């Protein structure tokens, strides 16, 4: 991967007022203080990186700035004027736009139609031609490269990301909130996005960037603010910090857990996961697999590099046994399970960290302890689920084995951040019973210490003889952990790389439909 372009120092005019200022923002959910007396200033022509581990309060803070949550205490100012938002529409009317980690575009509509939906005060009639010209101008100026009349479902993930940015720019936002904007991008798309952010900064936009990736912070941020347990711990000009000092602020006593995970080459220990000429009929046309053959021996990790919507979700359907198999066969540990029920596959030691744990790996209305037991509820000798007291005891034992802090067992999952939901699912699945694992981007949305802990869990499982299929867009993770890397594009395996031959740019080109150099 090419070296990052370091952010240029900001020359803030003397006496400049913040574009967005927060004072004393606080927010409580039941007995949990998610934001505690937070002060924040974001200036035009600067990128402010917001850092903090999972549960530090970043998401709550951004949702208060964007009008999703009303703060219990504190106030906001935009360009020196007090504002009070009752909804995101109020924030947008004040010039604040937000690009979410999970895209909010409507797939069946065109880019211009999606952007028209958030155009405030423009009446009911859509001047498609005028809006199209505006989108094209912004696209050319910031090299966003999206066709206004393209249907969103036909766009790549990178194009959808750029369309989301165009949506907020076309709404005349001057304060941009970017929530983990690179989490679903291929490597060359990350470089492109960082360049876009720098151009927006140079044109006077105020940008708040939430990210866990230190490389991105030092590539484009002007200022940094660090949150821990709902409070601002520190911050200032990016030039005053290095990665180690920021990690110390973010993690406190947990900073010693951030050492890079070493995963020496491993030899196969027998049969593990095997697909032979598998083709499926994906319900949405994007999850279908086309003549996919792959083998993950026991005691090895095989990485799958793929951008969302290129068939990787079909891998879970095939392995769990809920996909519509048109042809091919599925083997676990040498046993042909093509016609086996999902229950039998789980009993054989199959575990899954799903592509979207919030939607498919957990139940929001249930507690943490209940979610722990969803796929592994202990039963008695007659197959009956044990009583509540025994279940709680089992959940407590599971939580005690977690390598990172876990939320209270009684908390409803729907009250947790996405990163904490990910933690719950990972701790549930990555246990000693796991013989065959399909893990989708397990460190997505996790802070540095939690990411390292998850990676160590994967390496430990491999050492115990588990066969692990690791799907990720994070090349640092794939290169560090995988014994082999496959590239999946439009449901086909289009490239295979040995451990020492994984080149992020070559793989990234294949991921997005290009050819490796």
Give the confidence band of 348 by pLDDT, cuts at 50, 70, 90. Answer: very high
Same domain, 29 and 63: yes
Whether 4 shows a pLDDT value over 80: the answer reads no
Mean of the pLDDT values across residues 378-392? 59
The answer to whether residue 464 sits within a structural domain is yes
pLDDT at residue number 378: 53
Q: Is the pLDDT of residue 517 over 50?
A: no
Whether 457 and 327 share a structural domain: yes
Selection from 250, 236, 222 nearest residue 6 by Cα: 222
On whether residue 297 sits in a domain, the answer given is yes
Query: Quick one: pLDDT at residue 1?
Result: 39
Report the domain count for the chain: 4
> Across the chain, what does the average pLDDT equal?
83
Q: Do 246 and 376 fall within a single domain?
A: no
Reading across the β-sheet that carries 301-305, which strands appear in turn? 350-353, 436-440, 467-472, 301-305, 484-489, 492-498
Closest CA to 358 of 301, 423, 309: 423
Note whether residue 14 is domain-resident: no
Name the band, by pLDDT with cuts 50, 70 and 90, for residue 85.
very high
pLDDT at 246 over 70: yes
| Residue range 270-282: mean pLDDT, rounded | 90
In a domain, 2, yes or no: no
Q: Do residue 318 and residue 365 come from a single domain?
A: no
Q: What confidence category does residue 45 fall into, taking pLDDT thresholds of 50, 70 and 90?
A: very high
pLDDT band of 18, cuts 50, 70, 90: very high
Which range of residues forms the domain containing residue 129? Answer: 106-173
For 139-149, the pLDDT digits (tens) are 888 888 888 88
Say if residue 429 is in the same domain as residue 443: no
Do 124 and 251 belong together in one domain? no
Question: Considering all CA atoms of the chain, what is the largest pairwise distance in Å, rounded to the nearest integer?
Answer: 75
Q: Which CATH number goes with the domain that contains 225?
A: 3.40.50.300
User: What is the CB neighbour count within 10 angstroms for residue 454?
Assistant: 25
Given 403, 433, 463, the domain boundary residue is 433
* 391 in the same domain as 288: no
Q: Which of 31-35, 143-147, 490-494, 513-517 has the highest mean pLDDT?
A: 490-494
Which span out of 125-129, 429-433, 455-459 was modeled with the highest average pLDDT? 455-459
Asked whether residue 1 is assigned to any structural domain, the reply reads no
* CA 121 – CA 167 distance, rounded (Å): 15
Angle at 298 between CA 294 and CA 302, to 5 degrees: 45
When mean pLDDT is compared across 30-34, 116-120, 351-355, 496-500, the lowest value belongs to 116-120
pLDDT of residue 516: 47
- Three-class SS of residue 210? strand
pLDDT for res 357: 76
- Residue 61 CA to residue 34 CA, distance in Å, equals 8
pLDDT at 409: 86
The answer to whether residue 447 is domain-embedded is yes
Does one domain contain both 217 and 266?
no
91 with 179, same domain: the answer is: yes
Domain-terminating residue out of 142, 158, 173: 173
Average pLDDT (233-249) is 89
4 belongs to a structural domain: no
**Hey, what are 392's tokens?**
């709680």
Both 329 and 399 in one domain: the answer is no
Asked if residue 297 lies in contact with residue 467, where contact means CB atoms within 8 angstroms, the answer is: yes
Shared domain check, 400 and 371 = yes
276 and 223, same structural domain?
no
How buried is 93 (Cβ within 10 angstroms: 0-12 exposed, 13-18 middle, 19+ buried)? middle
- The reported pLDDT for the residue numbered 287 is 63
Q: What is the DSSP string of 262-330?
A: P-------S--EEEEEEEE--TTSSS---SEEEEE-TT-EEEEE--TTSSHHHHHHHHHT-S-EEEEEE
Nearest Cα residue to 196 out of 224, 176, 223: 176
| Residue 5 belongs to some domain of the structure | no
Rounded mean pLDDT of 363-381? 73
User: What pLDDT is stored for residue 450 in this prediction?
Assistant: 82
DSSP SS3 for 123: coil
Q: Which of 147, 173, 199 is the last residue before a domain boundary?
A: 173
- Of 114-128, 209-223, 356-370, which one has max mean pLDDT? 209-223
């Amino acid at each position: 991967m090419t070296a990052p372009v370091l952010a240029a120092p900001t020359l803030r005019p003397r006496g400049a007022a913040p574009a967005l200022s927060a004072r004393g923002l606080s927010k409580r959910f039941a007995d949990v203080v998610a934001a505690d007396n937070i002060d924040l200033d974001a200036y035009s022509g600067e990128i402010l990186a917001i850092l903090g581990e999972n549960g530090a309060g970043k998401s709550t803070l951004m949702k208060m700035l964007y009008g999703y949550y009303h703060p219990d205490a504190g106030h906001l100012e935009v360009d020196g004027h007090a504002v009070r938002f009752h909804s995101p529409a109020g924030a947008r009317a004040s010039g604040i736009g937000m690009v979410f980690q999970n895209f909010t575009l409507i797939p069946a509509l065109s880019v211009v139609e999606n952007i028209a939906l958030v155009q405030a005060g423009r009446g009911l009639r859509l001047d498609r031609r005028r809006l199209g010209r505006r989108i094209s101008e912004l696209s050319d100026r910031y090299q966003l490269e999206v066709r206004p009349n393209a249907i969103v479902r036909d766009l790549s993930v990178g194009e959808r990301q750029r369309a989301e940015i165009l949506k907020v720019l076309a709404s005349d936002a001057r304060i941009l909130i970017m929530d983990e904007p690179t989490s679903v991008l291929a490597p060359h798309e990350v470089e492109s996005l960082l360049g876009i952010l720098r151009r927006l900064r140079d044109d006077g936009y105020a940008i708040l960037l939430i990210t866990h990736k230190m490389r991105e912070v030092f590539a484009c941020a002007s200022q940094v603010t660090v949150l821990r347990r709902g409070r601002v711990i520190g911050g200032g000009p990016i030039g005053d910090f290095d990665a180690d000092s920021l990690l110390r602020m973010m993690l406190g006593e947990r900073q010693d857990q951030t050492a890079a995970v070493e995963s020496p080459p491993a030899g196969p220990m027998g049969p593990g996961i095997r697909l032979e000429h598998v083709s499926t009929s994906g319900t949405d046309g994007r999850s279908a697999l086309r003549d996919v053959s792959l083998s993950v021996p026991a005691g090895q990790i095989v990485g799958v590099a793929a951008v969302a919507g290129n068939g990787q979700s079909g891998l879970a359907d095939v392995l769990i046994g809920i996909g519509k198999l048109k042809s091919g066969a599925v083997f676990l540990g040498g046993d042909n399970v093509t016609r086996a029920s999902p229950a039998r596959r789980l009993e054989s030691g199959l575990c899954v960290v799903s592509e979207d744990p919030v939607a498919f790996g957990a139940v929001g209305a249930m507690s943490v302890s209940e979610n722990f037991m969803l796929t592994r509820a202990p039963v008695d000798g007659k197959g009956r689920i044990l009583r509540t007291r025994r279940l709680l005891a089992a959940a407590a034992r599971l939580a005690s084995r977690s390598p990172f802090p876990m939320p209270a067992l009684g908390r409803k999952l729907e009250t947790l951040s996405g990163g904490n939901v990910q933690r719950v699912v990972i701790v549930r699945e990555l246990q000693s019973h796991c013989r065959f694992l399909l893990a989708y981007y397990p460190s997505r949305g996790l802070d540095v210490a939690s990411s390292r802990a998850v990676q160590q869990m994967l390496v430990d499982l491999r050492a115990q003889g588990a066969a692990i299929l690791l799907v990720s867009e994070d090349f640092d993770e794939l290169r560090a952990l995988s014994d082999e890397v496959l590239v999946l594009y439009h449901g086909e395996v289009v490239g295979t790389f040995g451990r020492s031959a994984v080149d992020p740019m070559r793989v990234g080109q294949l991921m997005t439909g290009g050819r490796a150099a």
